[in-house]
Amino acid sequence: MSKPNVVITRRVPRPGLERVQEACNVHLWDSDEPIPRATLLEWVKGIDGLYCLLTERIDDELLDAAGPNLKVVSTISVGYDHIDVPACLRRGVAVGNTPGVLTDTTADLAVALLLATARRIPESIDAIRRGEWTTWKPEWMAGQDVYGSTVGIVGFGRIGYAVAKRLRGFDCRILYFDPFPNQKLADEVGAIYSPLDDLLAASDFVTLHTALTPETRHLMNAAAFAKMKPTAILINTSRGGVVDQDALYQALTTGQILAAGLDVTVPEPLPVDHPLLKLPNCVVLPHIASASVATRAKMAVIAAENLIAGVEGRPLPCPVTA
């Protein structure tokens, strides 16, 4: 029996690639740079399965180009806002993602970014490199304490919970907001439910862990920043679209909030001349929250298992259902 035909849209960690190659004929875009859209639309014609990244838009145009053989779209990411899931499901195309395995790695990075932003670590490193470390100065590079602070977690799913668990070790008071509060889970980490406006007003740090949906797009807008403390710090490791970046720039430059740490932006990559990159109180990372060698390998394998199950007509190990 001939093997199913699949496209992999980027170089992916070897364990995932090898797993797919055992079961499928693979057309691999063997590069770290994105496959051009026109090439992708050409390559997907008649395929059985697509293994994609969060940088590819999976919409009606692509599904039309692929045609009726397509059985599965498997993304090597937990987020799936780049995929028109209803359009896939309507056509009987299964969708898979990689939840669970990246929770702790992502939570580690969220806390690292929070600490780096609060304690002005990137700014300090830059200052040393510019030769500005002239002596020990009592107020130079003084930042905000994380220990004992109030941290507001917006979106209390797996990653929000894992961040709370870590911050307990810093004796933080943890507030959380989620449209579907899970107090039993929250009790395990001593997190207290708070309506969003109250959370924004009370928190020293607001950290975002929500999916990007029509409801959460620009959740952090001018009105939200106006509710925050002037000493507050925003951390975003979810999706750039959850933050209105123009409003954030205003809030950071007018002293409405103190600083921001962003692992995600709009667009990605953020152009090097973007105004946010000029601000010393804005720490920007290149969307690396799940980027540990081990976790990226696990994600690659789960995406492979989803793909193979889909092309073989079996239930996906990690399906996206809505």
Distance between CA atoms of residues 36 and 309, nearest Å: 27
Q: How far is the CB of 284 from ligand GLV (least distance, A)?
A: 15
Closer to ligand GLV by CB, 54 or 309: give it.
54
Closest approach, Cβ 124 to ligand GLV, in A, equals: 27
**CB-nearer residue toward ligand GLV: 200 or 219:** 219
| Count of other CB atoms within 10 angstroms of residue 223 | 12
287 labelled catalytic = yes
**What are the DSSP calls for 199-257, one per residue?**
HHHH-SEEEE-----TTTTT-B-HHHHHHS-TT-EEEE-S-GGGB-HHHHHHHHHTTSS
Closest distance of CB 238 from ligand GLV, Å: 8
Looking at beta carbons, which residue is closest to ligand GLV? 79
Nearest 5 degrees, angle CA 37-CA 42-CA 45?
Answer: 125
> For ligand GLV, which is the closer residue by CB, 113 or 202?
113
Q: Which residue, 203 or 290, is less far from ligand GLV as judged by CB? A: 290
Q: Are 256 and 225 in contact (CB under 8 A)?
A: yes
Which residues contact ligand GLV (rule: CB under 6 A)?
A: 54, 77-79, 102, 290
Q: Which of 27, 82, 209, 287 is catalytic?
A: 287
What is the smallest separation between the CB atom of 264 and ligand GLV, expressed in angstroms? 7
Q: Which residues are catalytic?
A: 287
